Amino acid sequence: MTTFTVNGRTHQPEGPSEMPLLWYLRDLAGLTGTKYGCGLGICGSCTVLVDGQAARACLLHVGELEGRAITTIEGLSADGMHPVQLAWRALNVAQCGYCQTGQIMQAAALLAATPKPTDAEIDAAMSGNLCRCGTYPRIRAAIKLAAEGGEA
């Protein structure tokens, strides 16, 4: 049986090893903050961190995650005070909100690897996260704000 952690807690999924991580998180682990958009790896709404790297939960099978550390939006911070979350709130980034957990996880991974990203680095990192509401300008501004360590 595959063993991995989600937000610091050990999980041993039952069922088929080819079950997408996204299914496991939402339907079996009750972590519904990670959203199902396309199921094909092209929208980014299901983005989580795997060993600190942004990854699409719809493309990962639970059976290939032995020993990995997964972080979902529920585990990004204990109190919703991650710098990215603070910046998102300060700039009211979300519109409908559906894509935003994926956006936040992708942004958190970017800033962990590149604390002061350029516009080009932001665009490159975020290009696979789609937003039907067109919140892209606020997303970019919030990433810059988070990089500066400010709230507004």
Q: Which residues sit at the interface with ligand FES, rule CB under 6 A?
A: 36-39, 41-46, 56, 58, 94-100, 131-133, 135
- The residue (of 60 and 76) whose beta carbon lies closer to ligand FES is 60
Q: Which is nearer to ligand FES, 1 or 97 (CB)?
A: 97
Phi, psi torsion values for 52, nearest 5 degrees: 85, -5
141 φ, ψ to 5°? -65, -40
Q: Which is nearer to ligand FES, 12 or 142 (CB)?
A: 142
CB of 138 to ligand FES, least distance (A): 9
Beta bridge partners of 5: 10, 69
Residue 84 is encoded by which pair of tokens? 């990215």
Query: 80 or 115, CB closer to ligand FES?
Result: 80
Q: How far apart are CA 104 and CA 62, in angstroms?
A: 23
Residue 51 CB, nearest approach to ligand FES (Å): 18
Closest approach of Cβ 135 to ligand FES, in Å?
A: 5
CB of 6 to ligand FES, least distance (A): 17
Residue 38 or 124 having the CB closest to ligand FES: 38
CB 116 to ligand FES: min, Å: 25
Instruction: Give the integer Cα–Cα distance in Å for 95 and 21.
Output: 26
DSSP for 4-53? EEETTEEE---S-TTSBHHHIIIIIS--TTSPPS-SSSSS-TTEEEETTE
